[in-house]
Chains A and B, each alone.
Chain A
Amino acid sequence: MARSRITLKAESDVITARQAGRETARHLGLSLADQTRLATAISELARNAIQHAGRGTCLITDRSNQHAINIQVAVEDRGPGIPDIERVMEYGFSSSRGLGCGLPAARRLVDEFDIQSEPGYTKVTIGMVRPRVP
């Protein structure tokens, strides 16, 4: 499994992370639309980590097999955690300036979406899966 890890510690790392995601998607042969969906979703998650925790990591994993292209992206941070995940996932909820629709927006762009959060640790995992065309 090919992996790339991006350390998120400055705003510019949001750009680095989404470009790495796009590059992985492109390399695996995903369409331009899917490359853009994945890059945009990563941008939302990476920004959340920087804004709420000041830093974090973004791990991009190629889990493709012979049947499907499968990319998983996990963004982790050691920030305060999300006290009410359901509320955050409501469209339009805003916890700080410029955020608020980041997580629900990301969820709409990908096939798999999971949040684990507790005080001091948050991990958001997204996945994009596309069957290989024979």
Chain B
Amino acid sequence: MKVPILRFKNILLTSIQMDLTDQDALDFQSDLLRMANSTEAKGVVIDIKALDVVDSYLARILNETASMLRLLGTKTVITGMQPTVALTLVEMGRELIGVETALNFEQGVEKLQRSIEKREGEDSYGEE
């Protein structure tokens, strides 16, 4: 199953709507990296509201994806995590450490836009 990735201004929006096999998760990771690179996106929102299980493998892939995107200069926000998924991840001792999160898609986009504006403000200040 391929996860669609949409571009909105300088942000990539994606929503995982179905359970992913391990290979699907890896494909999603490389699609996202390729697209972030080709579109020069400043941010990525990954919505996982539809997922009722995030096991240690998927947690690790999401973590790694955010780290890889950070190396490209792109900020990642994961949104919509179900409460029972959050509970299970913490109990497993495998939180999505280092990944920014937001309650829902809209708040995730806002969070990214704010941080991108802030970063651009700082950049133009530095150029003066």
Contacts and interface: CB of A to CB of B under 8 A. Distances in A.
A43 interface: yes
A35 B88 CA distance: 10
A87 interface: no
B55 interface: yes
Contacts of B57: 43, 47, 98-99, 102
A59 to B, nearest CB: 19
A89 B88 CA distance: 18
Interface in B61-91: 61, 82, 84-85, 87-88, 91
A91 B93 CA distance: 9
B94 interface: yes
Contacts of A57: none
B113 interface: no
Contacts of A47: 22, 55, 57
Question: Majority SS of interface residues in chain B?
Answer: helix
Contacts of A11: 21-23
A36 B21 contact: no
A133 interface: no
Interface residues of A, number: 26
A15 B23 CA distance: 12
B84 A33 contact: yes
B93 A108 contact: yes
Contacts of A14: 21-22
Interface of B: 19, 21-23, 52-57, 60-61, 82, 84-85, 87-88, 91-94
10 contacts: A11-B21, A14-B22, A18-B53, A33-B84, A35-B84, A36-B87, A40-B54, A47-B55, A105-B56, A105-B92
The 5 A-B pairs of least Cβ separation, nearest first, read A11-B21, A105-B92, A36-B84, A43-B55, A15-B19
Given A14-B22, A39-B52, A40-B54, 9 more contacts: A32-B84, A36-B85, A36-B87, A40-B55, A40-B88, A43-B53, A44-B56, A102-B56, A109-B88
